Amino acid sequence: MCIRYLALIPPTPFIRGGAKKCMNFSTRTTYGLRAMIRLAGRKGPESLSLPNIAKAENISLGYLERLFSDLKKGGLVQSGKGVKGGYKLAKPAERIEVYEIVKSLEGKMSPFHCLDEGGKIYCKVSCRCGATKVLIKVQEAVKKTLKGIKLSDLVA
Amino acid sequence: MCIRYLALIPPTPFIRGGAKKCMNFSTRTTYGLRAMIRLAGRKGPESLSLPNIAKAENISLGYLERLFSDLKKGGLVQSGKGVKGGYKLAKPAERIEVYEIVKSLEGKMSPFHCLDEGGKIYCKVSCRCGATKVLIKVQEAVKKTLKGIKLSDLVA
DNA sequence: ATAAATACCTACTAAAATAGTGTGTATTAG
DNA sequence: CTAATACACACTATTTTAGTAGGTATTTAT
């Protein structure tokens, strides 16, 4: 998901055919969120299988499997193999921040760097150029927002 | 720029070689911001040429030209052709929000849509699924933040 | 007038990131 | 023993982003 769409375009009705780019999260995050919402929506203690979720959400199974690998590493879900296997939340939805979900799905990337006059690559340690100042403030705002939303808030 | 990096990674020192992806704005926005900061840093009324900026910021000239086409359409810069030509700010840096810059550079994209159970594509009008709720909140936070920063705040 | 420096325009190419597929192994309930 | 599941890895396809190449029009200085 690119910041531009987030910041620039108000939530307007969809216009079919008019959109080449979207202002969604990446499908990675979108899929992961929606799958987590499904898990959170379960009543009983039974697990929900990935083929089940993939079908319901129309997501490719292989892709979803990798997302859940990340969610599990992030400590957000528990898994069980076998016929009655599947996934369930590792803790109550009330105690899962959306921030944690996004972090698990997208967060193991790179440290912080930026362009600099010296060349295309890269920045000095602790660079604080103008673009960076902006970045830091936006970063803080997004983080705070994501931390303020619990998974349970998203269950219909 | 992807939201994940913004939200997830604190402004840590650069680690050379460790980064495959960055948490910057897209180079489009980064370049544009840096160029605008250069314009804002000028004292006199003379224009600054793109070859000048491109060299100083190590940006490809052709790419920069297209960015400035957008900035001009956005009403943020004025241009002059010819030997003494170039660009200057269309209004004082104190009155230019970073939001305007990002919007000019990245904002002419698509309306809002999201995935839905019905298929990969797309969302009903006024979709308010869980992922969308998150999106809207983040969107508001980012917009507010970008509006709160003036170009003049970024000049060293 | 001419030349040089600039804006400005369009099509094309390259690189990077994202999404999806294919194939396989291990584990578990029945 | 079988079927359904998690889990893993390599590969391909698609989309987005960045950069290049080549041109025209305008303006200033000579």
Nucleotide nearest to A2 (CA to C1'): D16
| Cβ of residue B68 closer than 8 Å to a chain A Cβ | no
- As a rounded value in angstroms, the CA-to-C1' distance for B21 and D19 is 18
Strand duo B86-89 + B77-80: pairing: antiparallel
Pair B5, A143: CB distance under 8 Å: no
What confidence tens digit (pLDDT) does each residue in A95-147 have?
Answer: 999 989 988 887 543 334 444 433 333 443 345 577 778 877 887 888 888 89
Q: How far apart are alpha carbons B7 and B23 in whole angstroms?
A: 9
Residue A50 CA, nucleotide C28 C1', distance (Å): 16
The CATH T-level fold of domain B3-154 is: Arc Repressor Mutant, subunit A (1.10.10)
CA max distance for chain A? 59
Structure confidence by residue, pLDDT tens digits, A17-53: 333 333 456 778 888 998 999 999 998 889 999 999 9
Taking the C-alpha atoms of residue A146 and residue B136, their distance in angstroms, rounded to an integer, is 11
Total residue count of chain A as it appears in this document = 156
* A79 CB closer than 7 A to any strand D atom: yes
What's the rounded Cα separation, in Å, for the pair A57 and A147?
25
| Dist CA A137 CA B28 (whole Å) | 19
66-105 on B, CB < 7 Å from strand D? 66, 80-85
pTM comes to 0.80
Assess whether pLDDT exceeds 90 at residue B80. yes
Q: Read off the DSSP letter of residue A74.
A: T
